[in-house]
A and B are shown apart, each in its own frame.
Chain A
Amino acid sequence: MQGQKNLQKIHQASKDGVGGSPLRPDGTLKVKGEFAYSSDLWHEDMLWGTALRSPHPRATILSVDVSEALAVPGVYAVLTHEDIPGEKYYGLEIADQPALAIDKVRYHGEAIALVAADHPETARRAVKKIRVEYEVLTPITTEEQCLDPETHGYVHEPHEYKSHAYGNVCHEQKLVSGLGVTDEVRALADVIVTGEYEVGMQDQAFLGPESGLAVPAEDGGVDLYVATQWLHVDRQQMAPVLDLPLEKVRLTLAGVGGAFGGREDLSMQIHACLLALRTGRPVKIVYARDESFFGHVHRHPARMRYEHGATRDGKLVFADCRIVLDGGAYASASPAVVGNAASLGHGPYVIPNVRMHAIALYSNNPSCGAMRGFGAVQAAFGYESQMDRLAEALGMDPVELRQLNAVTQGDRMPTGQEIDAPAPVAELLQRVKDMPLPPPLDPEHPDVRTLPGALSNTSHGEGIVRGVGYSVGIKNVGFSEGFDDYSTARVRLEVIGGEPVAMVHTAMAEVGQGGVTVHAQIARTELGVEQVTIHPANTEVGSAGSTSASRQTYMTGGAVKLAAEAVRHELLERGRHRYGWTRDDLSLAGGKVVSASAGVLIAIVDLLGDDAIEQTREHHHRPTVPFDKETGQGFGHVQYTFCANRAVVDVDVELGLVKVVELTAVQDVGKALNPLSVVGQIQGGCTQALGLAVMEEIVVKDGKVRNASFTDYLIPTILDTPPIPVQLLELPDPHAPYGLRGVGEAPTVSATPSIVAAIRQATGKALTRIPVRPEHLTDTL
């Protein structure tokens, strides 16, 4: 009996395994200030690099004179594109971006020249001494200008296009399903609502600035310690520019202070390496905040037109959509963003007839690319605004209308793809609706700090109206459209200090999301050990793919699982071989090899001895295909994920100030590998959505960025952010490791429309543009 009890104890899932919420392995270092972020790196003899950036969004460069800058004492190198040894262009999907501007600049802030000096201030002063002669051109900035290149010109001359681009259109995707949208289809609808919507340019605004340290190596190569989202794709773009073979460009992840898509493109990587290779000294580059705003791509601003038709009882009949994304000067991830917008742009609804046209433009505005939600965010504001409009036109409850049309498992998306995993959209909405509402505003004793205007003491409760709004959103997980998305993990099991210890080595960029915690949990669960060490992420192991698209737990977590299973298999084989075990009910638990029927067979340390086991595995997800160019049909997405929100807002209708009182989220996560982290991701995602709804926008006028600082680009503070109650649903996806679903992006897709809906309910205003500004609420535009 005692033996059985012990066995139970051994089999008890470790609280630090999958499904538990162990603390972050890097948490202690981070709270002590000892965690080395990329901007903290230091090397003896190191120099500081910085870039000269264009003050013009569009200009021809007539000449560049660096002689004065070179003469500044303490300056070791000044480089222009002429000093680039290899390829001059790079890019994530299309190599259309020069590492340093050649003959022309295409956006405000484009890098033209580089300086390395012994003090950051020396470098900045030297930059000011570089003389550039420009012929300033009128920038191409609006949709109308972009689409009329005959009149307004080309951002890239037609012969410079490196893909299927044409006439300032970087990429487009069409989609038709059912009968499309014709007059006959329109005639089937009893009610038709039309809306035009606009989304401003949002910034990732991670706190840790772009930074890294490049160290020239004896073999002529270079070692770069850098904050990034994908080490291997950086290397792939860097090596040809540096004219080095891949293996001589070695990257190691340095501490990353947030990413949210903004580190998917290169920023200072090539620049630091060029300077290090030229000077033969380590070179550190740390962006100042304004340089960070110039140095990374942003969320695509969008203009959208939606038309929806429904029957009198609320069933959707058709949707006609046009989404125009401003991609800025270079392609970055625009093609994939367009694919997402087109294929997810109708929301999680069953719509028998759909027509969609999504395009990304080249312009002389700042480049746009990946940001949390990736093309699905903009569209969600469009289709969810339409759902509210339709509900109003039909006199229906907006949640009921959504539930009535919600997709569910077995339905087909407008791409024709069957949803082959749970899709509890109606249930998510029901749950979010059923959660208790916050108490009403106390008109007698309001704490002004909790009111719109807060510490500015602009109201004591007068003129304040409350509103409630709902929304739901859909996002794909992982890379889509035929991309062979994979991730690699190496797991080693060895005895250290008399204990079995697992070591996990991947190239996954931990950007704050908690992947390192989850990897340790997976190794513990699969190998039945407590001690797990996480090897620093670098390019000595195969690619882990990007920390984006909500894919890392699915993909690299999946790879760690496969590698750990392979280690377990080898260990048990060793036991079978050595001891003649014939049972097939063996597992590893509590540091022991256990048979379900016969109890403990041997301690792992005894079976392992000095002979460590190491296995490397790649995890590929099931294949997808590109969408058909004209019809948008195809099994393009690996997995869908859904989140529903309810927002409660107070609006000072006199001053146009908004206070979000509460923002509730219910999300299906498939399986919460680490509930604490999952909830944290959802709350963080909701807050970025709040920012987009009411405050965050890079203001660009005539191609010039007007607010490249945290003084003028506002992200939510703790006073702007309300309590965010979260409920998780766990309906396993049969195709995913542990049944999990990617988590990080869905709330950023779904939460913005709920806030705008709540403001509409409070004010009765149509609100077709985000961020909503006081002018929109007081009609003082």
Chain B
Amino acid sequence: MRVTFSANGKPVEADDVWEGESLLYVLRERVGLPGSKNACEQGECGSCTVYLDGVPVCACLVAAGQVQGREVRTVEGLAGPDGELGVVQQAFVDAGAVQCGFCTPGLLVQTDALLAADPQPSDTDIREALSGNLCRCTGYEKIMDAVRLASARTCARGAEK
């Protein structure tokens, strides 16, 4: 089948999609957006988290056909128009929250969604919101730092405006 949808604001189409393919496979192997990661392909690790119509979902659990006509935003769509890093992306780099980085794309999308809903989450809120995203390298401490940093920067920017 053919699937057409919008990815990071641009229309894309994929041909010859087998009906069992996931959105994750289509993004990674057909559309040239390998940023979302394939760690379990079972909805357990969160590495493949993308926005689907503004809601974070595990792309590995979404059948390709389900995204027909809808809007997908991936980690590749988090940077600004000139490629400058978004607040959450920069905070992850600055805080040392990226080691191997395989969990990072999913965590970035989930954190972006968290801060959009609640710019000043408590530590426990952060842990709850990110509990579906596994990271094997960092021990999460620096990820906590990164989210706190992104939150502080977001709020500081809000205050400036």
In this complex, the member of B44, B98, B101 whose beta carbon has the largest number of chain A beta carbons within 10 angstroms is B101
Stretch at the interface among A24-32, A55-63, A379-387, A648-656: A24-32
Return chain A residues, CB-CB under 8 Å to B141. Answer: 680, 683, 721, 723-724
Within 8 A of A (CB), among B108-132: 108, 124, 126-128, 130-132
Q: State how many angstroms separate the Cβ of B71 from the closest Cβ of chain A.
A: 17
Chain A minimum-CB-distance residue to B28:
A40
With contacts A24-B93, A710-B45, A717-B131 taken as known, whether A684 is within 8 angstroms of B39 at the C-beta atoms is no
Please pick, from A26, A447, A715, A724, the residue contacting B101 in the complex, using a CB distance under 8 A: A26
Those of A192-212 within 8 Å (CB) of chain B: 204-209
Query: Is A33 located at the chain interface by the 8 A CB criterion?
Result: yes
Alpha-carbon distance A179/B89, docked complex (angstroms):
60
Q: Does A718 interact with chain B (Cβ within 8 Å)?
A: yes
Among listed B30-38, B61-69, B153-161, interface-contacting one: B30-38
A26-49 with Cβ < 8 A to chain B:
26-28, 30-37, 39-40, 42
Residues in B whose Cβ lies below 8 Å from that of A255: 101
A289-B39, A289-B42, A709-B44 as given contacts; A680 in contact with B138, CB under 8 Å: yes
Cα distance, A326 to B125, chains bound together (Å): 42
Contact with B along A400-442 (1 / 0, CB 8 A): 0000000000000000000000000000000000000000000
Chain A CB within 10 A, most for which of B20, B85, B135, B137: B137
A450 at the interface (CB under 8 A from B): yes
A715–B93 contact, CB under 8 A? no
How far is A36 from B101 in the complex, measured between Cα atoms in Å?
Answer: 11
Residue on B nearest A258 in the bound complex, by CB: B100
Partner of A715, one of B105, B124, B136: B136
> Can you name the residue of chain B whose Cβ is closest to the Cβ of A24?
B98
Decide: B100 and A31 in contact? CB cutoff 8 A.
no
- B151 in contact (CB, < 8 A): no
- Indicate if the CB atoms of B44 and A718 lie closer than 8 Å: no
Determine, out of A9-17, A316-324, A497-505, A506-514, the stretch whose residues face the partner at the interface: A506-514
Nearest CB of chain A from residue B47's CB, rounded to whole Å: 6
Chain B residues with CB under 8 A of A514: 99
Given contacts A23-B93, A28-B93, contact A718 B133 (CB under 8 A): yes
Which residue on A lies nearest to B46, using beta carbons? A717
In the complex, per-residue mask of A46-76: 1 if CB is within 8 Å of any chain B CB, else 0 = 0000000000000000000000000000000
Q: How far is the CA of A34 from the CA of B74 in the complex (A)?
A: 12
The answer to whether residues A684 and B99 also contact, given A23-B94, A33-B36, A711-B44 and a CB cut-off of 8 A, is yes
Q: B102 contacts the other chain (Cβ, under 8 Å)?
A: yes
Measured between beta carbons, the chain B residues less than 8 angstroms from A710 are 39-40, 42, 44-45, 134
Contact call B134/A715, Cβ cutoff below 8 A? yes
Nearest Cβ in chain B — how far from A14, in angstroms? Answer: 18
A601 at the interface (CB under 8 A from B): no
Q: Are A683 and B44 in contact (CB under 8 A)?
A: no
Taking the complex as formed, is B92 at the interface, i.e. its CB lies under 8 A from any CB of chain A?
yes
CB–CB A450/B124 < 8 A: yes
Query: Is B53 in the interface zone, CB < 8 Å from A?
Result: no
Q: Are B98 and A257 in contact (CB under 8 A)?
A: no
User: How far is it, in angstroms, between the C-alpha of A208 and the C-alpha of B39 when the chains are bound?
Assistant: 6
Most buried by A among B45, B94, B130: B45
| Cross-chain contact of A512 among B37, B75, B93, B101 (Cβ < 8 A) | B101
Residues on A with beta carbons closer than 8 Å to the beta carbon of B40: 289, 709-710
Q: Which residue of A lies closest to B125 (CB)?
A: A449
| Contact A207 B74, CB 8 Å, known A32-B85, A39-B38 | no
A711 partner residues in chain B, CB cutoff 8 A: 42, 44
Contact of B138 among A35, A256, A683, A715 (CB under 8 A): A683
Task: Report the interface size for chain B: residues with CB under 8 A from the other chain.
Answer: 59
Q: For A288, what are the chain B residues with a Cβ–Cβ distance below 8 Å?
A: 41
> What A residues does B98 contact at CB under 8 A?
24, 27, 30-31
- Whether a CB of chain B sits under 8 angstroms from the CB of A325 is no
| A686 on interface, CB distance cutoff 8 Å | yes
Which residues of chain A are near B34, meaning CB under 8 Å? 33, 36-37, 40, 42
Q: A27-B98, A42-B29, A450-B124 are in contact. Are A34 and B35 (CB under 8 A)?
A: yes
Chain A residues whose C-beta falls within 8 Å of the C-beta of B29 in the assembled complex: 42
In the complex, what residues of B have CB within 8 A of residue A686's CB? 139
What per-residue 1/0 map shows which CB atoms of A508-525 lie under 8 Å from chain B?
A: 000111100000000000
Contacts of A39 in B (CB 8 A): 37-38
Contact, CB under 8 Å: A511 / B100: yes
Distance of A256 Cα from B136 Cα, bound (Å): 13
Asked whether, in the complex, the Cβ of B136 is within 8 Å of the Cβ of A37, the reply is: no
CB pair B101–A35 under 8 Å, yes or no, is yes
Complex CA gap A719/B126 in Å reads: 9
A209 to B37, CA, bound (A): 10
- Which residues of A have CB within 8 Å of B99? 258, 512-514, 680, 684
In Å, the complex CA distance between A405 and B83 comes to 57
- Hey, which bits of chain B sit against chain A, CB under 8 A? 18, 20-21, 28-29, 33-42, 44-45, 47, 74-76, 78-79, 83, 85, 89-90, 92-94, 96, 98-105, 108, 124, 126-128, 130-144
A residues near B (Cβ < 8 Å) are 21, 23-24, 26-28, 30-37, 39-40, 42, 119, 121, 204-209, 255-258, 260, 286, 288-289, 447, 449-450, 455, 511-514, 676-677, 679-680, 683-688, 709-711, 715-719, 721, 723-724
3 tightest CB-CB pairs across the interface, nearest first? A33-B35, A512-B100, A257-B102
Question: Can you sample 24 A-B contacts with CB below 8 Å?
Answer: A23-B93, A23-B96, A32-B76, A37-B34, A39-B37, A40-B28, A121-B20, A121-B21, A206-B102, A257-B37, A257-B39, A257-B100, A258-B137, A289-B40, A449-B124, A684-B136, A685-B139, A710-B44, A715-B134, A718-B130, A718-B133, A719-B128, A721-B140, A723-B141
Q: A207-B134, A514-B99 are in contact. List 5 more A-B contacts (CB 8 A).
A: A30-B104, A33-B75, A208-B37, A680-B99, A683-B141
